Structure 1
Amino acid sequence: MSEVYPYKNSNLPIEERVKDLVSRMTLSEKISQMLHESPAIPRLGIPEYNWWNECLHGVARAGIASVFPQAIGLGATFNPDLIYQIAEIISDEARAKHHEFVRNNDRGIYKGLTFWSPNVNIFRDPRWGRGQETYGEDPFLTGELGVAFVKGLQGNDERYLKLVATPKHYAVHSGPEKLRHQFNAVVNNKDLRETYLPAFKKCVKEGHAASIMGAYNRTNDEPCCGSKTLLIDILRKEWGFDGYVVSDCGAIDDFHMHHKVTKNAAESATMAVNNGCELNCGNTYESLLTAVKEGLVSEETIDKAVTKLFEARFRLGMFDPPEMVLYANIPYSVNDSDEHRKMTLKAALESIVLLKNENNLLPLQKNLKKIAVIGPNADSLDVLLGNYNGTPSKYVTMLDGIKNKVSAEVLYAKGCELTGSSKEGFKDAIEAAVKSDVVIACMGISPKLEGEEGHVEGSDADGDRLNLDLPGVQKDLLKELKDTGKPIVLVLLNGSPLTINWAKENIPAIIEAWYPGEEGGTAVADIIFGDYSPAGRLPVTFVKSLDDIPPFEDYNMSGRTYRYMEKEPLYPFGFGLSFAEFEYDNLWLSSEKISVDDAIDIYVDVKNVGHVKSDEVVQLYLKDTESSVKVPKYELRGVKRINLLPGEKKTVKFEFKPRDMALIDNDGRCILEPGLFTVYEGESQPDEMSQELMGRKVLSKTFEITGDLRELVY
């Protein structure tokens, strides 16, 4: 009878099994397992494994899968509960697909259980092409949604991980794309800990993310994937992170090739591994054998890194019989199921933001005789999917959704291309408009114009955008459609803000639909024709002009996002209209004077005084009115999405703990100062424009914190 090694004994603790396995590996074998394409080690029964997988808004790049709205659209839902449900569905499909692949001996890229999502970078600048992958510009909202996504992916089994979630790109990363391999993001301690780190911290401390991906850039001169400050001092020592870190792909080669902080691959690998980056997406770590021989890296350090990687694989159940792992028994039939398709529709509905509805043009009546559907995005699959996407088995474009919704004759004309100067299609578009009762213009941009460096064919800046206007002749077409005198509904499809200044003034109804996923057309039609009342909110500020914000390369938060922006926006963060009307009343606090050690509860009554059932997004903002340092004008500190029938009222409760009321000082310390604080509660942020656009004031209350200044754990 052959000996059963301890690492094969499923009854032993994972730590003991991993220690035994690593002890049996040669140095070369250990190093081979630190590359994202990890080869098999047959003598130890270790199968090959590719660590690279993606699931930003659905299982990506691995064939047919349910495709949810792009992440920026998920951010617009302001709904952590929904994000958790979506992540559960994604993890179901991921598990089902993985085990089907394994049964067919397919262990290639995008087939594993370690997923490089979510992207919790802050969308600080609207030019950034990858801003679409984020949940927006606010650290609190990004953190809440990031935690929900991580938890939904990783599951709640005490023994096994469902998947490994990997929040990225750590840290201080948001463009420019063309400079990312050499860029040094200079950031002060206050902005670092007030804006750029909070979402990562929440994903680690509250979400218990099993992995983190480092960024390409340097932060304050240190390459992020080899940064002692980020990976050791903050991530591991401060936050207690005990998972593994993976580099972005090719990022460690950048150390010597572009950042010029090392001389060669061996030195780059040394810097990364010694500072806590265990896994290399790329092949730089092949140089670790040389680094060990030259005394740059100890074999003990290699052992620690490989141990963390195998702990993750064991926690995923990869070395246990499938019958022991509940998640291994999810049937393949869940993938792209009807139930999941319904959730893609629900997510799309919740993501859509109604920006304008002059004279209640929307919802349209379904008994119209002729409807003109016009625009380059009306019948496009690309604009449903965004980037880092899967492939839906069925999809509904804007044109399809409208045709499916009504019995009216639908006249379609593309009108113009997404970009370019040709107006050849204008004539057909105008003729369709003149013949119709209403025009639905589907315009905007697409993933062909914004995204990741090297992946975008039509971008004017390697994935980023240097101009936020509607591209090409789209605005010209819109103006000519306006001249027909027909009512127009403008549907925007995009992953980042657009400077639609003319449209805001001249088009009666505007819908922001983002990249809405496989059922996007159904969702937009449901809102246009009143089968759903919109409640999405902007997770990012729409600026009037790029002249209103600092240069792209400037990572200082001054003048950026709703928290620090000085110029009036085109559309403010947190804004979104509804077909219902809500009344806020009876804002009260559990106490109007508390000590620095106390928590405080905030309550408000919300009533639907409209005529239709609708969701409402209750937003709570906090202002420190007597701070000793510059702080945001106010900050989102609570959000709850509720559903109310006409006439129904609910009491919504929020709780502030001392940490929720603390500020970050100029040294990066987290402190709670005594003094006066104001809370604002309503359907938007408390700025003048939001209240003017909504037609209602937000409620406010002031309370006092007494006692001595407290320095809190960040």
Structure 2
Amino acid sequence: MKRGLIIGTILLFSLNLFGQLPYQNPKLTSEERAKDLISRLSLQEKAALMCDQSEAIPRLGIKKFNWWSEALHGLAQSNDVTVFPEPIGMAASFDDKLVYNVFDAVSDEFRAKYNQARKNGEENRAFLNLSVWTPNINIFRDPRWGRGQETYGEDPYLTSRMGISVVNGLQGPSDSRYKKLLACAKHFAVHSGPEWSRHTLNLNNISPRDLWETYLPAFKSLVQEADVREVMCAYQRLDDEPCCGSNRLLEKILRDDWGFKYLVVSDCGAIADFYNNHKVSSDDVHAASKAVLAGTDVECGFGYAFGKLPQAVQKGLITEDEINKHLTRVLVGRFDLGEMDSDSLVSWSKIPMSVVNSKDHQKLALQMAQESMTLLQNKNNILPLSRSVKKIAVIGPNADEKPVMLGNYNGYPANTVTVLDGIKSKLPAGAIFYDKGCDITEDMITESFVGNSSFDGKKGIKATYWNNKDFKGDVAAHDQITNPIQLTTAGQHQFSTGINLKGFSGKYEAVYKALRSEMLVFKLEYAGRCQIVVNGDTLLNKDSYQAVPFRIPFKVESGKEYKIEIRYSAVFDWVNASLKLNFGREIPVNYDDLINKLKGIDEVVFVGGISSKLEGEEMPLEIPGFKGGDRTDINLPASQRKYLQALKKAGKKVVFVNCSGSAIALTPETESCDAILQAWYGGQSGGQAVADVLFGDYNPSGKLPVTFYKNSEQLGNFEDYSMKGRTYRFMNNALFPFGYGLSYTTFNIGAARLSKTAIGTNETIQLTVPVTNAGLRDGVEVVQVYVRKMNDVEGPLKTLRGFKRVEIPAGKSQQVSINLNPSSFEFFDLRQQKMTVTPGEYEVYYGSSSDSKDLKTAIISILQ
């Protein structure tokens, strides 16, 4: 390697003296430069450049490049950055302009951090490069899907508009010489769970109509309207072909039909699935050639089948010319970023660190969180709360939880405001009673025995640390722990005293002498590798790249000693290490005792729901109601439901703040609670936004981007991708419908005026809707427009085709104009087998939600 660096340095020095090679000339097009560089590469080097971790080629001055970074709602796995609400919360704003501003800020912070890393010689740090695998524009068709929080909801049009704003914010102006970042539309296509079967699932019964009207429109919009530079192919099979090996998806539809010119990247490990799970290829050599020939250009992998492309060429499975075609797209992307050119040419290289979590970005995070707040119920106008209240109770498992604000694929802000923190900013300390009350999912509490154990004659657990992953060499630190362990590198400068942030290991040892025969439990959450051994028996030995809860029971006998050894190591460099550990006796929650703590307090803010520790990507989790990152039912966990019912029985006035990335079946809660505020995962300022709404400093304006079903029985088979009975477009019996959200004021929507009532297939009409704020508060309404093709019995009941947020002062009216262009009337035509506008009658619905009672109707005729 040193010899290669010396040669590369000599080459570059010589070229500075005697001229540039064509690939080094910024005056040439990216394609010209890519083709010249390819002509100088060996076949092995070409294959290496098609892997997501592309190693350096010193002899040509090519730096290492990591294709995998995440920008879902801020810089993932990075400290002291701005963390915005999860995308599902941003979708509730129906504010695509604000979403653009958010991702313009995110890309500024990405470039600033990248610029600093380069100056410090750390430009190859994981999750900090210029290709970001955002946005997730899959359709959130089923509320059980754990990754639905990453999306912009269940509607193709809303997802398209939000996705376009994300891409434009991330990539920068279209006329800029260099891209600020490369955005990625994922996961192409027809992908939305279950997480536990995504590596084997075969979707072979999706109707052409569902494919083209539901699953593909957002991808088409991002390709044709936002010029997205990357598309990620999904894990599962579609009609027997893995998506990353589907010529139909990646060549015919994506490139031939839509004109996509840039690169396709595989989901991580998807190529290995060809031979390990889907069994469509015999080995990695055949999988690599199949994927590339179908249209995949970069492999994100664990082992890299693409490294075997030279062998595939030798076997005659693929030609080097074919590899050159795909590598050209890859290198064009890198040249378009300017990462091979002088910083003096790249304006983005001058973005300073001062933008990171700047005051402007903090304000933006708060505004986005405020706009995401969605008020679902407000009986007797209990909200907003009064500041003159003598005492209010703030309780619930999510009331003072910072991680729940941050969702998944998140960064770590300098400060996270919990709901309790937000309420403290509104009331004096003496007016607030706080108690966690109950666990998210368990109606048992753990009486900790950590302090009852000992080691070497000292109370508690002995901790020993090494600054390597292997528990070897010099010991870096010792510690004695007498309380449950709660350690993390997130937002920290070290894991524990003297311990590095990365690549460390720790051993925790204790002896517990049982006072009686009983069943005890280990309760733990960790990201990394963890092993638990009790008296030589291994109770746990598992890697987890997400901090999800584990519950491990073990039986003890009276008078017997148990030697406990826990080994933890931070094996994932790209994940913030964390370890929470407790063990002891479980005791049932006594709800009467909890109610007794609230004597003299009438108003209760209960902050519950679920968290990204329970829903997310392919999680090693199986507890009642949850499986592998998904949910098995959509009810509020019983521990919380029981507590809310106890509060109702005790005569308390209850405001329920629900934190979740997905719809919860809240039918019982509409009875046990006076108000329900859907708070999603609100980012670093989520708790402040909740408090602002609760106390009336912000008038809620969020609208549901997903249907809130009445119960789990309304859902079909999770693995059935037919849209029948799913989402507002194909069902009308919701608890809270798509597009629904209350305000502290009242809006009246009058009869719309149409610019035309009969148009040709290529014409646009304008719908002008009078909206009056008939209440006493200034507020924001989201006017929504839906279209249905009449006499279309197989089509959707209605589908969103336009929306506009309007701010209207109390007592004022406004004329709201929304254009419906030809694509607004485009549906799948069975006869022509394509999306098209066909002559006929169309119903246009307009109003404040997708619910029929909130809509008015107009008729449009489309002529031949």
Q: Does 1:79 align with 2:95?
A: yes
Structure 2 SS opposite 1:606: strand
* Conserved 8 A contact 2:644-2:672: no
> In the aligned structure 2, how far is the partner of 1:349 from the partner of 1:431?
34
Per mean C-alpha deviation after superposition, the further-off stretch among 3-12 and 84-93 is 3-12
> In the aligned structure 2, how far is the partner of 1:443 from the partner of 1:211?
37
Q: Does 1:66 align with 2:82?
A: yes
Structure 1 SS opposite 2:425: helix
Residue aligning to 2:296: 277
Structure 2 SS opposite 1:114: coil
Q: Does 1:502 align with 2:668?
A: yes
* Conserved 8 A contact 1:51-1:109: no
Q: Which residue among 677, 689, 709 is the counterpart of 1:543? A: 709
How far the C-alpha of 1:428 sits from its partner, in A, is 5.6
How far the C-alpha of 1:162 sits from its partner, in A, is 0.7
Residue aligning to 1:703: 860
> In the aligned structure 1, how far is the partner of 2:592 from the partner of 2:54?
57
Q: State how 1:456-471 maps to structure 2 within 5 Å.
A: 460-471=626-637
Per mean C-alpha deviation after superposition, the further-off stretch among 81-90 and 642-651 is 642-651
Change (3 A) 1:120 1:626: same
> In the aligned structure 2, how far is the partner of 1:342 from the partner of 1:132?
23
Structure 1 SS opposite 2:668: helix
Q: Which residue among 415, 420, 436 is the counterpart of 2:437? A: 415
Residue aligning to 1:454: 619
Q: State how 1:22-421 maps to structure 2 within 5 Å.
A: 22-106=38-122, 107-156=124-173, 157-186=175-204, 187-282=206-301, 283-407=304-428, 409-421=431-443
TM-score, length of structure 1 as denominator length? 0.96
Per mean C-alpha deviation after superposition, the further-off stretch among 601-610 and 255-264 is 601-610
Change (3 A) 1:455 1:312: farther
> In the aligned structure 2, how far is the partner of 1:426 from the partner of 1:686?
37
2:78 counterpart letter in structure 1: A
Structure 2 SS opposite 1:435: coil
Residue by residue over 1:474-528, the C-alpha shift from the partner in whole angstroms, topping out at 9 and shown as x without a partner, is 1111111112212110000011111111111231100000111111110000000
> In the aligned structure 2, how far is the partner of 1:621 from the partner of 1:239?
25
1:681 counterpart letter in structure 2: Y
1:302 counterpart letter in structure 2: I
Structure 2 SS opposite 1:84: helix
Per mean C-alpha deviation after superposition, the further-off stretch among 357-366 and 478-487 is 478-487
1:229 counterpart letter in structure 2: R
1:102 counterpart letter in structure 2: R
> In the aligned structure 2, how far is the partner of 1:3 from the partner of 1:43?
16
How far the C-alpha of 1:136 sits from its partner, in A, is 0.6
How far the C-alpha of 1:327 sits from its partner, in A, is 1.0
How far the C-alpha of 1:595 sits from its partner, in A, is 2.5
RMSD: 1.4
> In the aligned structure 1, how far is the partner of 2:274 from the partner of 2:443?
42
> In the aligned structure 2, how far is the partner of 1:88 from the partner of 1:345?
16
Residue aligning to 1:710: none
2:647 counterpart letter in structure 1: L
How far the C-alpha of 1:240 sits from its partner, in A, is 0.3
How far the C-alpha of 1:12 sits from its partner, in A, is 2.2
How far the C-alpha of 1:57 sits from its partner, in A, is 0.8
* Conserved 8 A contact 2:137-2:218: yes
* Conserved 8 A contact 1:377-1:443: yes
How far the C-alpha of 1:647 sits from its partner, in A, is 2.2
Q: State how 1:489-568 maps to structure 2 within 5 Å.
A: 489-565=655-731, 568=733
Structure 2 SS opposite 1:167: strand
How far the C-alpha of 1:222 sits from its partner, in A, is 1.1
1:20 counterpart letter in structure 2: D
Q: Which residue among 642, 658, 663 is the counterpart of 2:827? A: 663
Per mean C-alpha deviation after superposition, the further-off stretch among 170-179 and 416-425 is 416-425
Change (3 A) 1:507 1:546: same
* Conserved 8 A contact 2:728-2:850: no
How far the C-alpha of 1:102 sits from its partner, in A, is 1.4
> In the aligned structure 2, how far is the partner of 1:63 from the partner of 1:306?
34
How far the C-alpha of 1:322 sits from its partner, in A, is 1.0
Residue by residue over 1:332-378, the C-alpha shift from the partner in whole angstroms, topping out at 9 and shown as x without a partner, is 11111121111111011100110000111100111111110010010
Residue by residue over 1:189-228, the C-alpha shift from the partner in whole angstroms, topping out at 9 and shown as x without a partner, is 1110010000011011101100000100011111001110
> In the aligned structure 2, how far is the partner of 1:658 from the partner of 1:483?
55
Residue aligning to 1:631: 795
> In the aligned structure 2, how far is the partner of 1:27 from the partner of 1:239?
31
Change (3 A) 1:354 1:182: same
Residue aligning to 2:531: none
Residue aligning to 1:711: none
Q: Does 1:673 align with 2:838?
A: yes
Change (3 A) 1:63 1:455: farther
Structure 1 SS opposite 2:618: coil
> In the aligned structure 1, how far is the partner of 2:89 from the partner of 2:749?
26
1:519 counterpart letter in structure 2: S
Change (3 A) 1:193 1:537: same
> In the aligned structure 2, how far is the partner of 1:148 from the partner of 1:32?
33
Residue by residue over 1:74-108, the C-alpha shift from the partner in whole angstroms, topping out at 9 and shown as x without a partner, is 11111111111111010000111111111112112
> In the aligned structure 2, how far is the partner of 1:596 from the partner of 1:202?
20
Residue aligning to 2:738: 573
How far the C-alpha of 1:308 sits from its partner, in A, is 0.8
Residue by residue over 1:513-564, the C-alpha shift from the partner in whole angstroms, topping out at 9 and shown as x without a partner, is 0111111110000000000110101111111122212211111111111101
Residue by residue over 1:139-195, the C-alpha shift from the partner in whole angstroms, topping out at 9 and shown as x without a partner, is 010011001111110000431111000010000001111110010123121110010
How far the C-alpha of 1:468 sits from its partner, in A, is 1.1
| Percent of residue pairs bearing the same amino acid type | 45
How far the C-alpha of 1:264 sits from its partner, in A, is 0.5
* Conserved 8 A contact 1:177-1:464: yes
> In the aligned structure 2, how far is the partner of 1:284 from the partner of 1:565?
44
Query: What is the aligned length?
Result: 697
> In the aligned structure 1, how far is the partner of 2:130 from the partner of 2:600?
53
How far the C-alpha of 1:300 sits from its partner, in A, is 0.8
How far the C-alpha of 1:425 sits from its partner, in A, is 6.2
* Conserved 8 A contact 2:376-2:677: yes
> In the aligned structure 2, how far is the partner of 1:154 from the partner of 1:626?
42
Per mean C-alpha deviation after superposition, the further-off stretch among 455-464 and 569-578 is 455-464
Structure 1's consecutive aligned runs of 4 or more residues displaced over 6 angstroms after TM superposition are none
> In the aligned structure 2, how far is the partner of 1:185 from the partner of 1:148?
30
How far the C-alpha of 1:657 sits from its partner, in A, is 2.1
* Conserved 8 A contact 2:237-2:243: yes
Change (3 A) 1:456 1:401: farther
Change (3 A) 1:97 1:684: same
How far the C-alpha of 1:11 sits from its partner, in A, is 2.0
Residue aligning to 2:770: 605
How far the C-alpha of 1:662 sits from its partner, in A, is 2.0
> In the aligned structure 2, how far is the partner of 1:151 from the partner of 1:390?
21
